Chains A and B, each alone.
Chain A
Amino acid sequence: MNCVLEGNAVKAFGKAIHSLSRIGDELCLDPMSKGLALRSVNSAHSAYACFLFSPMFFQKYNLGPEQGSETVQCKLLMKSILPLFRCLATVERCQIQINTPNDRVKIQFFCRHGITKTHDLCFEESEALQAAFASHLCPNVLKAPARVLGEMVMHFPVSQEEITLSITPLRVSLRNYFEGRNDHMKIMYTEMSLHPDEFDYFQIGVESNITFCLKELRGLLSFAESHCLPVSVHFGAAGKPVCFSVEDMILEATVVLSTLIDSESPSQPAETLTVAPRTPTRCADVVPESPGEAATVPAGMELVASSQGSPIEDPALLLLLHHLSEPHYQERANSTPASSICSLLFRAKSPESGEGLPVLACCSDEEEAEEEDVMMMRSPTL
């Protein structure tokens, strides 16, 4: 792949990388015919972000001879690439080339005064991970200018890990969330509410309180504010992932975060964490989405146990899940809900060559998924 960005686009690109660095330690560059996707996943697989830049974003965008067959996805260390995009004041143009034969990404900055900076970074070929999220099935949808959301979260200290978003037909509120602490006297509780009229779009299907990690969201909010883009929020009941997205003509950005499960409703099973590397399977062959079901696992897919006891493949992830559901999380004096992190579903991309539009979200109805081009980032029609 070979692409060229000019001045302001380089800054936006850098800002996207900065936002992604809030999520994970690795950055995945995924050149596709519909654009260049930058993705990051956190180590707990509870946060996923994707910035997709359409070919129009670039001055020049060429996929190499790999187009048609397996396109190369490059995994880079965030700490290798983030510093390159820090000082962009003098950058006039940036060229990014992915050379498969020698496993290198070449990033060249053409700066003022004729100065050129060339960086040759090593990458690892990897399978792209994508979160499967059916945003069109979410009962609750909000859309507001980035500034509105930014002003709401501004009241929480930078150290605040998690916040709870509550929605009722009469209001939307945000409050800080603390897990079972005994030092109530030392905590400052903050809550703010907005009337539904404050939102460009307000749809409530089910009253809910969702708790998610604020830190991982801040990157996207700051990106959205700098581009003056409205932010859409798709969510449902506690335990289901929440999706924040922005889009304009030339780029789309999404952050999908898992939310804490309400431990007081035992009927709601924990969702299976499926880490799905890209395999040449069609979407229909993929593990069914309904949680708790015994899964038939196609070759090449990993399945990690939920607290419901499905078969384990990755001991490290299992340890993480067990740690999260340790007793001390459940035995708390106060009444705030949730005892374990609900993780996201990840799904293989169907790499049909020439089609160029991999399925980003699979719904529970498999036939629908094959026919519909479901885009996770599509905003609801107003």
Chain B
Amino acid sequence: MPLSTQSQGDAEQYVLVASLDNARNLSNILKAITFKDHAIFSATPNGLKVTVEDSKCLQANAFIQSEIFQEYTIKEDSVGFQVNLTVLLDCLNIFGGSTAPGVSTALRMCYKGYGYPLTLFLEEGGVVTVCKINTEEPEEPVDFEFCSTNVTNKVILQSESLKEAFSELDMTSEVLQITMSPSQPYFRLSTFGNSGNAHYDYPKDSDMMELFKCTKTQTNRYKMSLLKPSTKALALSCKVSVRTDSRGFLSLQYLVRNDDGQICFVEYYCCPDEEVAED
């Protein structure tokens, strides 16, 4: 593979080198969080985390473990930078994003450190493209302080059942209301639009419900405009976990299988729109 014929001397300068035989294993998951131009990359020996935020109220994270990469070398405990995600995706798809079986773009992503651009070596069918994307000082991602000990309600659903609901959501509603309760209606999504209200109810004994752990009745509203981008992650996923904590903060975690069947995660954190009195 042409990419591996790079001089060894070059390799010594990079603090991070990550290679994939199929660039789609990275680009597909990044598409699930592309609702803003800029993304914060944070690499550790465990893998790559990409964060996108919106107005400090919404945060999306994509996790690609080091095992997913064919080559993953990191010389520091933590490497961070910020790039334009749209540009990065354009580069990853530079060969046109063909979905023909057996044809894929190989990727070697290299970073020399602070002040250097992110270098992408992309190869398909013997043609190599080199892209250098300017990096920026990484912003500190918001810490939503969402910890499992504070979780009041948690459900895990098969994504199939939620996909239909999310595709039908009344977009004239400003908010999406999520009700979770140990009693009826158990798990309910509600919208309040121009033509009327809609409720989607998922009972706790539904065979789409893989886990149901609700300790108290909670109703929270979230801005529809903030949650709408999560539909992309939902579309890619096979399972989703929905958790709320005592403050009403929402955590959505999506289990995504890539082209090779390997598991990656995408999570969304969202602040509640307003306090709704808990029953």
Chain B residues engaging chain A, CB cutoff 8 angstroms: 161, 164-165, 167-168, 194-203, 205-208
**Measured CA separation A320–B103 after assembly (Å):** 58
Q: Quick one: CB contact mask for A81-101 with B, threshold 8 Å, 1 for yes?
A: 001101100100000000000
**Measured CA separation A122–B172 after assembly (Å):** 14
Which of A77, A115, A122 lies at the interface centre, i.e. has the most chain B CB atoms within 10 A of its CB? A115
Inter-chain contacts of B198 with A (CB < 8 A)? 117-120
21 A-B pairs, CB-CB below 8 angstroms?
A: A77-B195, A80-B195, A87-B164, A87-B167, A104-B196, A113-B161, A113-B208, A114-B203, A114-B205, A114-B208, A115-B203, A116-B200, A116-B201, A116-B203, A117-B198, A117-B200, A119-B196, A119-B198, A120-B198, A121-B196, A122-B196
Docked-complex contact A83 and B206, CB < 8 angstroms: no
When C-beta atoms are compared, the residue in chain A nearest to B202 turns out to be A115
Docked-complex contact A115 and B200, CB < 8 angstroms: yes
Inter-chain contacts of A80 with B (CB < 8 A)? 194-196
Docked-complex contact B165 and A113, CB < 8 angstroms: no
When C-beta atoms are compared, the residue in chain A nearest to B200 turns out to be A117
Q: Which of A179-233 contact B (CB under 8 A)?
A: none
Docked-complex contact B161 and A120, CB < 8 angstroms: no
Chain A residues engaging chain B, CB cutoff 8 angstroms: 76-77, 79-80, 83-84, 86-87, 90, 104, 113-122
**Measured CA separation A117–B203 after assembly (Å):** 12
Inter-chain contacts of A77 with B (CB < 8 A)? 195
Q: Shortest CB–CB separation between residue B210 and chain A, in angstroms?
A: 12
Beyond contacts A118-B200, A119-B197: 16 other A-B pairs, Cβ-Cβ < 8 A, are: A77-B195, A86-B168, A87-B168, A113-B206, A114-B208, A115-B161, A115-B203, A115-B206, A116-B199, A116-B200, A119-B198, A119-B199, A120-B198, A121-B195, A122-B195, A122-B196
When C-beta atoms are compared, the residue in chain A nearest to B193 turns out to be A80
**Measured CA separation A113–B202 after assembly (Å):** 8
Known A-B contacts A113-B206, A113-B207, A114-B202; the reply to A83 vs B168 at CB < 8 A is: yes
Docked-complex contact A117 and B196, CB < 8 angstroms: no
Docked-complex contact B196 and A114, CB < 8 angstroms: no
**Measured CA separation A164–B193 after assembly (Å):** 43
Docked-complex contact A117 and B165, CB < 8 angstroms: yes
Q: Shortest CB–CB separation between residue A72 and chain B, in angstroms?
A: 16
**Measured CA separation A121–B197 after assembly (Å):** 7
Q: Shortest CB–CB separation between residue B190 and chain A, in angstroms?
A: 9
**Measured CA separation A118–B185 after assembly (Å):** 12
